[in-house]
Amino acid sequence: MEKVKKNAQVAQKTRKAAAAMLCLLSLFLFLLSSRGEDAVPTATTVNENGPLLALTFDDGPYPKVTTHILDVLEKHGVCATFFVLGSRVEGREEVLLRMEALGCEIGNHTFSHADLTRLSAEQCKEEIDKTNAEFERALGHPASVVRPPYGFYNAAVRKNVPYPLVLWTVDTNDWRPRNVAELADAVVREAEDGCVILMHDQQSSTAEAMDAIIPALVAKGFRFVTVSELIAATDGACKAVKMPGGG
Ligand code: NI
């Protein structure tokens, strides 16, 4: 009788231990899943239905500043578009690969930062094609958008460069060192639905300002997209973009 009672007690203890284990396991699984929900959002999940905004960075890559900007984009789970110079690709392929891995777009900013309006049709095509050849080598595909240096274009450029020409709606003048707080305030103040913000991945003040700009824009409800995503979402009617063949 005593032995049976002991056995029953052992069985009960085992059941209790099993139940406790099960509890711990569910708690662990719950923590694991809720941790997943709280994880840094990806570019596609930040303010999914919010007003659209495209951050753009020109003239790089300059590995120190560009990498800093990529770190900030990754931290906040948003994407941007980098208008890269063909002449700066060689030796910096890893930086370009990281841009794409983070969901960023790489655009063509010519090979030598040329004023395309001063070039012959042939020279114009060469500036674009040589840069796309560098992208093919580094990434396996060409760019699908072009930003003409200085924003200079004319009818001849539009004919000779059969890509969407991406200009901007907000110019930050950040190619020179800027006060970080002032730069951040200006960008946050001027941002509006469908805007394309012109920046450069050259000055460390730009990279530092991004760490304030992104959370402020996220808080205002903005959804960050690449330039090609903005073109698709606006059906080519974005005011900062001149579509090929368009008026
Ligand atoms: Ni430029």
Q: How much distance in Å is there from the Cα of 119 to the middle of ligand 1?
A: 16
**Does residue 28 register a pLDDT over 90?**
no
Which pTM does this prediction carry? Answer: 0.82
Cis peptide before 61 (omega within 30 of 0): yes
Look at residue 243 and tell me whether its pLDDT is greater than 60. yes
What pLDDT was estimated at residue 177? 87
The CA–CA distances, whole Å, from 146 to 41, 63, 127, 203, 218 equal 29, 21, 11, 22, 27
58 is catalytic: yes
Question: Does residue 174 carry a catalytic annotation?
Answer: no
39-57 residues labelled b (16+ CB within 10 A) or e (exposed): eeeebeebbeeeebbbbbb
Name the one residue in this structure whose structure tokens are 């578009």: 81
Asked whether residue 31 carries a pLDDT value surpassing 50, the answer given is no
- DSSP letters spanning 14-45: HHHHHHHHHHHHHHHHHHHHHHHHHSPPPTTT
The pLDDT confidence band at residue 46, using thresholds 50, 70 and 90, is confident
Considering the chain, what is the average pLDDT of its residues?
88
Query: What pLDDT does 176 receive?
Result: 87
Q: Give 112 Cα–ligand 1 centroid separation in angstroms.
A: 10
**pLDDT cut 90: percent of the chain above it:** 77
Q: Say which of 68, 76, 109, 200 is annotated catalytic.
A: 200
Rounded to the nearest 5°, which phi and psi values hold at 119?
Answer: -105, 155
Percent share of the chain, pLDDT over 70 = 81
Q: What is the pLDDT of residues 207-220, one digit of tens each?
A: 999 999 999 999 99
Q: What does the alpha-carbon distance between residue 68 and residue 210 come to, in Å, rounded to a whole number?
A: 10
Q: pLDDT of 156-177, one tens digit each? A: 999 999 999 999 999 999 998 8
Question: Residue 58: is its pLDDT beyond 60?
Answer: yes
Q: In whole angstroms, give the CA distance from residue 110 to residue 128.
A: 5
Ligand 1 midpoint to CA 8 (Å): 80
In the structure, ligand 1 is a single-atom ion and the residues with CB under 5 Å from it are: 58-59, 149
Asked whether residue 14 carries a pLDDT value surpassing 80, the answer given is no
Ligand 1 center from residue 203 Cα (angstroms):
13
Model pLDDT, residue 140: 98
Separation of 150 CA from ligand 1 center, angstroms?
Answer: 6
Q: Is the pLDDT of residue 26 over 70?
A: no
pLDDT interval class at 128 (50, 70, 90): very high
- Average the pLDDT over each of 18-32, 135-149, 187-201 and give the range with the smallest value: 18-32
Tell which wins on pLDDT, 17 or 122. 122
pLDDT tens for each residue of 93-112:
999 999 999 999 999 999 99
Which candidate, 60, 111, 54, places its Cα nearest to that of 226? 54
Q: What is the pLDDT of residue 38?
A: 45
Selecting among 58, 59, 174, 201, the annotated active-site residue is: 58
Residue range 217-241: average pLDDT?
95
For the stretch 83-93, pLDDT in tens is 999 999 999 99
